[in-house]
């Protein structure tokens, strides 16, 4: 942390600023220039109340020079973190792991058929929403507990681990028992009570980026989970809201590179929610692989025109199989395996 003093500060004001910083647990280095006096904090500045310090008379500006996230930070953990999806498929290593399945679980026949198809094409895990965050209260809200049960049946048939979204803190215990990877949706990225509770679980957490969240806010949400003791966090870029309306969101592929540099956590890309258009999914998946994503999460439906949710962005099992073939061809070119 660096503090810049105002011009004409008094010795008492300087003393007060130094004292406030020292109270926060750091050593203070004073640099007196002809124009500007700067106070540098040496050591961990987390204990300093930045707002209180910036309001002191004589203080012009307070700037952080280190990131506020520690556990998610690559500086303190240079090696990639590997997260096991539950069946030995690892995210964060050389391999690309693909999670696939419908937006929502709709029936036993549907989820089992899609699970079998995506497994045959090479998916590492099955996705499917049972508790759905819908913009309209009149839209299909998901099958709830029955949906979780059907996902377990699909897992029993295929062996694929299941990834599904949690919406309420009331369900944390049930999810911990019943699912392999707990998804936090974009709309709940900053549901801090939920994040804190998930920090106490042992299951991997797939943390989607909020609709309008900065990379730092996203990493701070990962930090909430990790601070609670659960370090198995998978970040998911799913597009952000911009002025563009042609696509559902704008896929921020540069965020994959940014997050891989800033953090040791694995990153997956969701081209389905990012673009909202099935015909864009294949190319954007290939782009995500080229950008360095550790995995993909893709919506696949056996009958997209009749899907109860997100049919327009869902690809068919045959299209998914073609996509996996393309990814297998591309992976060695960018130094990855599939
Ligand atoms: C989903 O994965 O079905 C979903 C609702 O995604 P998001 O939270 O990214 O909108
Ligand atoms: Mn969806």
Q: What is the pTM of this model?
A: 0.93
Q: What are the domain boundaries of the chain?
A: 2-63, 83-330
Check if 2-63 and 83-330 are the same fold. no
Q: How does pLDDT run across 127-139, given as a tens digit for each residue?
A: 999 999 999 999 9
Supply the pLDDT for residue 75: 95
Atom 1 of ligand 1 has which residue's CA nearest to it?
Answer: 103
C-beta of 186 in contact with ligand 1 (< 6 A): yes
Query: Which of ligand 1's atoms lies nearest the C-alpha of 209?
Result: 9
Give residue-wise pLDDT tens across range 19-56.
Answer: 999 999 999 999 999 999 999 999 889 899 999 999 99
Pick the CATH number of 2-63 from 3.30.70.1140, 3.40.1260.10, 3.40.250.10, 2.40.160.10: 3.30.70.1140
Cα-flanking dihedrals φ and ψ of residue 144, to 5°? 65, -135
What value does the mean pLDDT take over residues 148-169? Answer: 98
Name the fold adopted by 83-330: TIM Barrel (3.20.20)
Pocket lining: 248 vs ligand 1, CB cutoff 6 Å:
no
Q: Which atom of ligand 1 is nearest to the CA of 185?
A: 8
- Which pLDDT score, from 0 to 100, does residue 103 have? 98
pLDDT surpassing 90 at residue 66: no
Q: What is the pLDDT of residue 197?
A: 98
pLDDT, average across residues 276-292: 98
Give the mean pLDDT of 292-301: 98
Whether residue 174 has pLDDT greater than 90: yes
Query: With pLDDT > 70 as the criterion, what percentage of the chain qualifies?
Result: 100
Place 150 in a pLDDT band, splitting at 50, 70 and 90.
Answer: very high
Ion ligand 2: residues, Cβ under 5 Å:
103, 310
pLDDT score of 296: 98
Predicted confidence (pLDDT) at residue 271 exceeds the cutoff of 90: yes
In tens, the pLDDT along 186-232 reads 999 999 999 999 999 999 999 999 999 999 999 999 999 999 999 99
Q: Is the CB of 185 under 6 A from ligand 1?
A: yes
CB atoms within 10 A of CB 98: 24
Query: Which ligand 1 atom sits nearest the alpha carbon of residue 132?
Result: 5
Average pLDDT value over all residues in the chain: 97
- Specify the pLDDT at position 155: 98
From 183, 191, 255, 295, give the residue whose CB has the most ligand 1 atoms within 8 Å, as the site to mutate: 183
């Amino acid at each position: 942390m660096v503090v810049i003093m105002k011009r004409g500060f008094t010795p008492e004001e300087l003393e007060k600023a130094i004292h406030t910083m020292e109270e926060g647990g750091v050593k203070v280095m004073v640099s007196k220039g002809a124009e500007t006096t700067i106070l540098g904090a040496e050591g961990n500045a987390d204990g300093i109340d930045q707002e209180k310090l910036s309001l002191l008379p004589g203080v012009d500006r307070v700037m952080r020079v280190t990131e506020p996230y520690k556990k998610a930070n690559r500086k303190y953990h240079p090696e990639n973190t590997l997260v096991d999806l539950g069946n030995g498929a690892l995210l964060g290593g050389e391999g690309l792991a693909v999670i696939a399945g419908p937006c929502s679980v709709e029936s036993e026949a549907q989820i089992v058929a899609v699970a079998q198809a995506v497994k045959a094409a090479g998916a590492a895990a099955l996705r499917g929403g049972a508790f759905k965050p819908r913009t309209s209260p009149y839209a299909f809200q998901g099958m709830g507990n029955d949906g979780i049960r059907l996902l377990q049946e699909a897992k029993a048939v295929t062996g694929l681990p299941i990834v599904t979204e949690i919406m309420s803190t009331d369900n944390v215990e049930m999810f911990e028992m019943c699912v392999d990877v707990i998804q936090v949706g974009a709309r709940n990225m900053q549901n801090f009570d939920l994040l804190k509770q998930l920090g106490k679980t042992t299951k991997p957490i797939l943390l989607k980026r909020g609709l309008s969240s900065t990379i730092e806010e996203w990493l701070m949400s990962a930090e909430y989970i990790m601070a609670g003791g659960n370090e198995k966090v998978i970040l998911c870029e799913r597009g952000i809201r911009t002025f563009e309306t042609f696509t559902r969101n704008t896929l921020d592929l540069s965020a994959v590179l940014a997050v891989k540099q800033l953090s040791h956590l694995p990153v997956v890309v969701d081209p389905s929610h990012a673009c909202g258009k099935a015909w864009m999914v294949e190319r954007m998946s290939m782009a995500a692989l080229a950008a360095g994503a550790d995995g993909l999460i893709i919506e696949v439906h056996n009958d997209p025109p009749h899907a109860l949710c997100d049919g327009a962005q869902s690809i068919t099992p045959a299209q998914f199989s073609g996509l996996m073939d393309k990814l297998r061809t591309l992976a060695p070119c960018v130094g990855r395996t599939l």
